[in-house]
Structure 1
Amino acid sequence: MALDLAAIHWFQGPSLLVLMGVHLEGIFAAACLPLLLTMVLFFGPLIQLVMDYPWDFLEGMKMFLDPQFWAQCLADMRWMRNQVVAPLTEELVFRACMLPMLVPCTGLSRAIITCPLFFGVAHFHHVIELLKFRQGTVVGIFLSAVFQFSYTAVFGAYTAFIFIRTGHLIGPVLCHSFCNYMGFPAIGAALEHPHKVTIFFFYLLGVILFFLLLFPMTDPTFYGSLAICHLTKPDTSTSVCT
């Protein structure tokens, strides 16, 4: 019986867990650098938050290191859903599971674009809830759904890019959790802020720095070998893996 060379290549390749971004090589960089990059993008909203709700840094650190604070968070089902369960399960399904299946069929670049479409559609269940409980007009709910689809699709493309560039699941999960905490930037509040010029300066600075640092801070050399890049043919590889 003839041997299937493709099957041999598959079994000689990376393990399933490594393909799903669950491994220890380069994990510290994978946990820190994408999160810092995302915080750079949210530089404006973070400055706005500090200006509106000033707090002492040392007191904040004490609270962050207080086990009782984390015990209260873990006991809060809404916090657990938004900061732990949703980021972990959604990134596991739409990045760790879906991307390794899409990449051999579509290539890296198309997978980054295609995967978020499923992620965006998965959030349409909010429309059913809003319509069921009549929380707004049909047109308003539809426009809200279109906006949410666009926002989640863009975010999904970003975390897909991070997953492929780092080869780790932890980066997308932490970025997802951070974005859930921050929410969509309060542009309306920024427009009415007494220091709106300063705030929009930091908004613009954050966006500029984000695009300047996007490739340097996700440089694959920080994270070890990229298992998912083994799923592409040599003649279809892109700069995403280099």
Structure 2
Amino acid sequence: MLEPEHGPMMQVEHTHTRCWVCVLSCLLLACLYVGSLYVWRSSLPRDHPSMIKRRCASVLLVSALSPAVVKAWMHWADVRVDASVWELMGVRLEGLVPAAVLPLLLTMVHQGVSTQIQLYRKDVFYLGPMVHSAIDNPQGFTGELQSALDFIFTDVQSWRLCVRDAVWLRNQVVAPVTEELVFRGAMLPMLVPCTGPTAAIFTAPLFFGVGMQFLYTTVFGAFTAFIFMRTGHVVGPVLCHSFCNSQGLPDISSALQHPQQSALLFSYLMGVLLFLVLLFPLTDTFFYGAIPVCSLVAPPASAC
């Protein structure tokens, strides 16, 4: 818990100080992260391997510095908790396996599984479009599942090509790890004492969304922030982020033009409903133990 203050006036003053330190710390991290992407002046396109390597090195450096920023914030804001900086940032062992599996399962229920699994891209579908692609596949759902399993477990050559591809490494590894560590793992612990857990979920994505694709990054950032607050782990947001990067955005227009439009739209709706029904059960704190970041706010902490 936060340390008690000595009297009402000191508490108000200290709270304001803590919030200013929090906002400035988050702005510093956001500026360092987003700025590091544009510090390299070059005529090369953003997907050129040399440019990707430079940008990846920059954001990895910022991510490595983020625990130091959180530590400095704890000092200047006089925040004391019985948890390490890494535990507050969601890097811990307790509940690690369910934290990796259950949020990803929740995301896959909503996103569905692509049918046309290609080397560096998976065609995008929600749960409804999974039915769409299965209908178009002569082998149906069995063929879909077999293709996915073959790619994941047996297509060694494809995996080797993937890990050698700079674009794939950026989209599937570096971007999810660095963005979630900085914008969820580092920022949420700093925001929670000032805004509370619920407001922090919707505030943290704004620091990244202002500089990027605002709507998409803000909505998705709020989802991964919710996962972080409910599980106390950063691994779930990282895996969900990587999975969604591989899938992209849903191709609803193709479903609207399909001969079996009604069945596909029903499947879309079922995917959304399943996601909403499973959202809280699969992120119940029963699976994950005590949430370190929740120690930064006085009870009741409804989002934790």
One fold, TM greater than 0.5?
A: yes
Question: Which shifted more, 100-109 or 46-55?
Answer: 46-55
Tell me if 1:107 matches 2:196: yes
- Work out which of the residue numbers 128, 151, 166 in structure 2 matches 1:77: 166
Matching of residues 1-242 of structure 1 within 5 Å = 10-42=79-111, 43-52=127-136, 55=143, 57-66=145-154, 67-123=156-212, 148-234=213-299, 237-241=300-304
Return the alpha-carbon distance in structure 1 between the equivalents of residues 249 and 91 of structure 2.
29
Q: C-alpha displacement at 1:56, in angstroms?
A: 5.2
Query: What's the CA shift for 1:48?
Result: 2.9
Letter in 1 for 2:184: R
Greater alpha carbon shift after TM alignment, 7-16 vs 21-30: 7-16
Change (3 A) 1:189 1:94: same
**Count of aligned pairs between the two proteins:** 212
Give the aligned residue type for 1:153: T
Aligned equivalent of 1:139: none
Aligned-residue RMSD, C-alpha: 2.2
User: TM-score, normalization: structure 2?
Assistant: 0.65
Q: Distance in 1 between matches of 2:206 and 2:280?
A: 23
Partner amino acid for 2:302?
S
Residue identity opposite 1:229 in structure 2: C
C-alpha distance in structure 2 between counterparts of 1:189 and 1:78, whole Å: 27
Name the structure 1 match of 2:21. Answer: none
1:43-71 Cα shifts (integer Å, max 9, x gaps)? 12333344445645345423322333321
**Residue 10 of structure 1: how far off its partner (Å):** 4.6
Percent sequence identity over aligned pairs: 54
On the 8 A contact 2:198/2:302 being kept in 1, the answer is no
AA aligned to 2:191 is L
2:209–2:215 CA contact under 8 A, matched in 1? yes
Say if 1:56 and 1:160 are closer, same or farther in 2 by CA, change over 3 A: closer
Specify every segment of 5 or more residues in structure 1 that has no aligned partner in the other structure, as ranges.
124-147
Residue 13 of structure 1: SS of its match in structure 2?
coil
Deviation at 1:83, TM superposition (A): 1.0
| 1:156-212 CA distance string (max 9 Å, x none) | 111000000000001001111111111111111111122221111111001111111
Partner Cα distance (1:101, 1:212) in 2: 30
Where do 5+ consecutive residues of structure 2 fail to align?
A: 6-73, 112-126
How far apart in 2 are the matches of 1:104 and 1:50? 47
User: In 2, distance between residues paired with 1:58 and 1:187?
Assistant: 24
Determine if contact 2:100/2:236 at 8 Å carries over to the other structure.
yes
In structure 2, distance between residues paired with 1:110 and 1:50: 40
Deviation (angstroms), 1:11: 4.6
Q: Structure 2 CA distance, aligned partners of 1:214 and 1:59?
A: 28
Give the AA of the match of 1:75: R
Equivalent-residue separation in structure 1 for 2:144 and 2:108 (angstroms): 20
Matched with 2:19 is none
